[in-house]
Amino acid sequence: MQKIEFVCSGNMGRSPLAELIARNHIARLDESGRLEATSSGTLVTTLNAWRDGSVPFNPVRAKWLLEQALKAGVYSGDERTLVRSFVRAEAVDITDPAVSAMTLKAQLSFDAEEMENRALVAVKLGLKGGFKAAPEQTVARRDAVVVLGMSSSNTASIREIYAPSKATPVIETLTDYTARAELAQVPDALGLGRDVYMEMAEVLRAETVKAGEKTLTSALRR
């Protein structure tokens, strides 16, 4: 079976939702079962290592997470005071156990928020089936015919992953593949709240449906 794959960074907020939307839409259009949707993330292995503490967080990402978590009200009173002192520094010292702990708290809070938001969208759109049990790292797949990044940076990473392999899928950014000229990418809503996620989901739904139809048309011609 041929695959259309949707790829973001963490395979948590955007690409799993795109996968579920595409699965539902393709199932309504394709009785032959020739095309199936899947998803992955270019940074899943790295993010998992950060979460379990086997490697330290990237300092730039750590500072961004701390700042967003402060805005989102993730921390208690004493924690807020501590985190404010971290983000005021020119550079975050990720070797500090307190910095690491507060960064991890931010990441896990935003992970949970994304899973809750995507579940709400699935109900709102009447999507059947569930999300995958755990995020998957992007790898070169021989059965992939189209691999679509949510952003240009995702697409660049996908090309690097596929470069050593013999697999030759179409690799593009989703909004380029669907020719949505006014939109460069599907924005990452991590840590930006429910309203921003819902706005992102509307864009994702429209572009995923178009991508599924375009890929299905090509698949049925083969």
22-37 pLDDT, tens digit per residue, is 999 988 887 667 889 9
What local confidence, expressed as pLDDT, does residue 29 receive?
80
Residue 32 has a pLDDT of 65
Q: What is the pLDDT of residue 219?
A: 55
Which residue stretches of the chain have pLDDT < 70?
Answer: 31-32, 219-222
**Residues 131, 193: Cα–Cα separation, whole Å:** 20
Predicted pLDDT at 221: 53
Q: In what order do the strands lie in the sheet with 144-149?
A: 35-41, 2-8, 144-149, 170-173
Q: Which two tokens stand for residue 102?
A: 């507060």
Cβ-based neighbours of 60, under 8 Å, separated by 6 or more: none
Residue found under tokens 């992953």: 161
pLDDT at 180: 86
Angstrom CA distances, 92 to 97, 98, 143, stand at 12, 11, 42
Q: What is the pLDDT of residue 27?
A: 85
* Res 28: pLDDT: 85
> In the chain, which residues fall in CATH 3.40.50.2300?
2-46+116-221
- What is the homologous superfamily of the domain 2-46+116-221 according to CATH? Response regulator (3.40.50.2300)
- Considering the entire predicted model, what is its pTM? 0.93
